[in-house]
Amino acid sequence: MTYTSRYVALGDSFTEGVGDWDPASPNGVRGWADRVAEQLILADPSWGYANLAIRGKKMRQILDEQIDAALALEPTLVTIYAGANDILRPRIDIDLLMSHYDAGIARLREAGADVVLFTGFDASGSAVFGKTRGRTAVYNEWVREIADERAATVVDYWRLREFQDWSYWDVDRMHMSTAGHTLMAARVLEAMKASHQVDVPELEARPALKRIEQLRADAQWAREYLTPWVGRRLRGVSSGDELVPKYPALGHPHWASVHA
């Protein structure tokens, strides 16, 4: 089938959909980008969708491995979020990194694609990841400047204060939950000024934990999620090393084709 509108999603775990677990989807995840694509396809079946994002990828990997593949699909719309995994590294030259990002965004825009960028999340509420807040703020200013220069759309994750509610996050405290991905899909469509029927779920109130209970929960999280995450980085491996893009070619995935 020939698609007159072509949406290609690029990035890391954020765009792949980690945290929105779905055994019926490739790589076992769905995510906000799939939900955005579903709304676009439901409104107009001439949309085709590809998702090249893979968890754990750093910016240069995303630019080197995904930009050319995306351009080969002749996209009319690209969403891209890259750099979060770089910001978490011990050392980073943000200015150099963002100059490469700008060059990648320029290529997408010169090819005629509308581009949607994201600022980084304000992790001030995290005792561990809150330490990267300053780096993320610098990253965000670069993203806004690139968007201005390249006429791209920005989804300002930093200012989406709803996400400060940790009920929108998966148990690993690193990725959005299904509720978070659903909310992000709605916010992305709104930034694009696209109509949608994404129903954002109401969150159940979480009972406040006593101090000893919170300490136990934090210790369990450190054992099950933080320590393995740190270990992978020390070994130079990624949870996405053995994965391939879940939708490498344009099409209507199973959740959209039945409605189109």
Kindly report, residue by residue over 83-137, the tens digit of the pLDDT: 999 998 888 999 999 999 999 999 999 999 999 999 999 988 766 666 789 999 9
Q: Provide the token pair at 37.
A: 């694509």
pLDDT band for position 71 (cuts 50, 70, 90): very high
**Has this prediction a pTM greater than 0.95?**
no
CA distance 32 to 144: 22
CB contact at 8 A, 116 and 82? no
Say what the pLDDT of residue 260 is: 38
- What is the identity of the amino acid at 77? L
Q: Provide the token pair at 31.
A: 């995510």
CB contact at 8 A, 119 and 81? no
CA distance 162 to 41: 27
Domain ranges of the chain: 5-255
pLDDT band for position 166 (cuts 50, 70, 90): confident
Using the CB atoms, write b or e for 25-59: b if 16+ within 10 Å.
bbbebbbbbbbbbbbbbeeebebbbbbbbbbbbbb
Alpha carbons within 13 A on the beta-carbon side of 213: 4
Mean pLDDT over the full length of the chain: 88
Kindly report, residue by residue over 169-226, the tens digit of the pLDDT: 988 868 999 999 999 999 999 999 998 888 877 776 666 656 765 556 556 656 665 6
Fold designation for 5-255: Rossmann fold (3.40.50)
Kindly report, residue by residue over 229-256, the tens digit of the pLDDT: 556 665 666 676 789 999 999 999 987 7
Residue 48 C-alpha from the chain's centroid:
19
Would the pLDDT of 51 be above 90? yes
CA distance 219 to 226: 10
- For residue 24, the SS3 value is coil
